[in-house]
Chains A and B, each alone.
Chain A
Amino acid sequence: MSWHGDRSSRSSDTAIEFRNVSRRFTLRHEQRSSFQDWFIGLLRPRGRAEEFWALRDITFSVRRGEAIGILGRNGAGKSTLLKLLTRVLEPTSGEIITHGQIHAMLELGAGFHPELSGRDNVFLNGSLYGFSRKQMDERFDEIVSFAGLERFINTPVKHFSSGMFMRLGFAIAVHMDPEILVIDEVLAVGDSAFQRKGYEALQRLKAGGSTIVFVSHNAEQVRSFCERSVLLVGGKMLDIGPTDEVVDHYNRMLQEEVVDASILRVRAIDDEATVIDRLESGRDLGIEVLLRLPGERHTTALFVALDLYDRQGLHLFGRTSELPDSLPLIDGAGPDTRRIRASLRGLPLAEGPVTIAVTLQRSAGPGVDTVDRQETTVEIDPVGMTGNRGMLRLDNHWDWEAPPDLADDPSSNIRLSRWTTR
């Protein structure tokens, strides 16, 4: 196992070469991270270590000036591949050869120190990539104006908004003349104007001969940017070729994989998991969903959306969450049946029917790639709502200050007297 880097070699036509690269992780159920654990471990036989190959036998090469996309769902090995490429991790076996300075945008602003000003952070960040003070001096003004932070550059970055933070990180990265730029889904930075600027900056780098490795599970971004792509599934390289073909392959794969998933049942439940069709206003509302998901693990991202509507169809609430890769089977139910539960604490509705809609979908966006959808309705009883109007249940009371003479008199019934102004 080895890693070779040769910074100076501009002569070679190959920028990145992976040769039979594999990476294994050891999942220890009892991680020994203190001396105490270690001594206990000496006395007791070691817990079985589980091995897990995040990447298996990956071979490909990238030419200089080429943009390559890495596609795959969560857990396919994309992040491991990037960490190997950027030398954060070493391969278990195989060889990685790179020609040229690598700059990674894995997490924008990763090296920023909150107490330091934007200016100090630019220099610190530059030196993390091996840039001298002089080299950073030459680029400083451009970086600041690209990020649009002229007014704030001497402010400690802890006062920056997350957008400003990421804009500065992005601006540094594109001004370091990286020979190889590794990007992990960071194009969604800032407003649309900044996104366009960022996209153009990347195109300029590409035209200037930088090699770009672009990782995303958004196939369309990859399509617009990369000539060639790699498709990773379960740590193995399933496909490599022109991006259009690989993206089609990826999309086909996603569709085939989840065709079987469905929602069997959606029910409203109370605190004791009893099925209900009425709920007192202000109590916790639980939602139990039975899903049919064939197989041990599903290899495509699945999302579940929970939405509440009132009787007129007004959207009261909505949230989409990603399902874990594996859910346990439930005993005594049909084959491939799994159960998930949601709970809404102290539902703040006064009365009336509420429609609960559960949607199983392939992507996180609202109402896209729907696999299945079911609804149920719960009637809210207006308990304890006497004297209130409207659809929401809100804690409410008035405060006022009584004049001292009245307030001191416990027998006085006169409470509302005058508002004091401060």
Chain B
Amino acid sequence: MASQAIEAIRYRALIRNLVTKDLKVRYKNSALGFLWSLLNPLLMMVVFTFVFTKVLNQNIEKFPVFVLVALLPWNWAAASITLGCSALIDNRSLITKVYFPRVLLPISVVCSTMVNFILSLPALFLIMVVFHVAFTPWILYIPVIVLVQAIFLTALVMFLAPLNVYFRDTLVLVEVGLTAWFFLTPIFYPIEAVAPNLTAWMYRINPMAAIVAEYRTILYHGGVPDPLFMARTGATAVVMLVLSYFFFNRLNRNIGEQL
């Protein structure tokens, strides 16, 4: 375990290069390419705002900010799960030719999608300014939530990527699962309003609900985060990470043969 950690540190340049590769390939080395990637969440924001404030007459104040603050972290989760799921299969030619710590492949997917998420935050801040949402010093708490989310996503991706090697339809099921998960996560609705007596349970069984709620607390409500709340979610994420890591190593041994 310790020797593997040392090895991963030795290969830190690889994570960095894999992340830059992902970003460069996605944006094809152009700034415009990056702007295009911002357009998707902003358009989604417009659509949701139209549907919920005009069509369904929901009365949520500053709805664009309300929804965007949840949509961006959700997009990060969805992107890293779909891309991470096929991280091993997509790099088949590499895995069967070169030895390197393969666990870095799913990790680098979470990192590159995280960079993408962080780069999209200024767009959120801009929308906040437009709608006169006040910034509080608790904005500095964002890195804590990002860290918890990154650990949680790494755990998921480390579990799904090797599974997808053995069962190639994992990705199909994951995509269906993501759609369901999207609706079960309070992204375009406040969970307290929909199911007040299920709220606590929702936060317990769905870490994404807790994570999204926390971003919303500090950015949309301008409230003070409850440190215990993130600590619980963080602890869940760390336990999941350890379990997935063992799962990954277990399946990793035969991956060279399975691919």
Contact = CB atoms under 8 A, between A and B. Distances in A.
Interface in B1-44: 7, 10-14, 16-18, 20-21, 24-25, 28
3 nearest CB pairs, A to B: A87-B99, A110-B97, A127-B14
B13 A132 contact: yes
Nearest to B13: A127
Given A34-B167, A116-B24, A130 B94 contact: no
B166 interface: yes
A35 B97 contact: no
Contact of B18 (A33, A102, A124): A124
Interface string B146-184: 000000000000000000001111100100000000000
B100 A130 contact: yes
Nearest to A134: B13
A108 to B, nearest CB: 10
Given A34-B168, A87-B99, A111-B97, A131 B13 contact: yes
Interface range on chain B: under 10, 10 to 19, 20 to 34, or 35 or more? 20 to 34
A111 B98 contact: yes
30 contacts: A36-B169, A83-B256, A86-B98, A86-B99, A87-B99, A88-B95, A89-B256, A89-B257, A90-B256, A104-B98, A106-B97, A110-B93, A111-B93, A111-B94, A111-B97, A111-B98, A115-B28, A116-B21, A116-B24, A126-B13, A127-B13, A127-B18, A128-B94, A128-B98, A130-B7, A130-B11, A130-B13, A131-B13, A132-B12, A133-B16
Nearest to A114: B25
B136 interface: no
Contacts, number: 86
B253 interface: yes
Given A34-B168, A34-B169, A90-B253, A129 B21 contact: no
B99 A133 contact: no
Interface of B: 7, 10-14, 16-18, 20-21, 24-25, 28, 93-100, 166-170, 173, 253, 256-257
A128 B105 CA distance: 11
Nearest to A131: B13
A134 to B, nearest CB: 9
Contact of A127 (B11, B99, B253): B11
Nearest to B95: A88
Given A90-B256, A111-B97, A124-B17, 7 more contacts: A34-B168, A83-B96, A104-B98, A110-B97, A126-B13, A131-B13, A132-B12
Contacts of A83: 96, 256
A102 B14 CA distance: 16
A136 B14 CA distance: 12
B35 to A, nearest CB: 19
Contact of A25 (B100, B167, B257): B257
B25 A116 contact: yes
Interface of A: 25, 33-36, 38, 83, 86-90, 102, 104, 106-107, 110-111, 113, 115-116, 120, 123-124, 126-133, 136
A65 B252 CA distance: 32
B24 to A, nearest CB: 6
A87 B12 CA distance: 19
A104 B20 contact: no
Contacts of A33: 166-168
Contact of A107 (B17, B24, B97): B97
Contacts of A110: 93-94, 97-98
A127 B17 contact: yes
Contacts of B168: 33-34
Given A113-B25, A115-B28, A132-B13, A35 B173 contact: yes
B100 to A, nearest CB: 5
Contacts of A126: 13
Contacts of A124: 17-18, 21
A111 B98 CA distance: 8
Nearest to B167: A35
B169 A113 contact: no
A136 B17 CA distance: 12
B164 to A, nearest CB: 10
A88 B96 contact: yes
A113 B90 CA distance: 11
A115 B22 CA distance: 10
Nearest to B99: A87
Looking at B20, B94, B98, B256, which has the most chain A CB atoms within 10 Å of its CB?
A: B98
Contacts of B12: 132
A71 to B, nearest CB: 22
A90 B258 CA distance: 13
Contacts of A89: 256-257
A33 B166 CA distance: 5
Nearest to A33: B168
Contacts of A131: 13
B97 A104 contact: yes
B254 to A, nearest CB: 8
Nearest to B258: A33
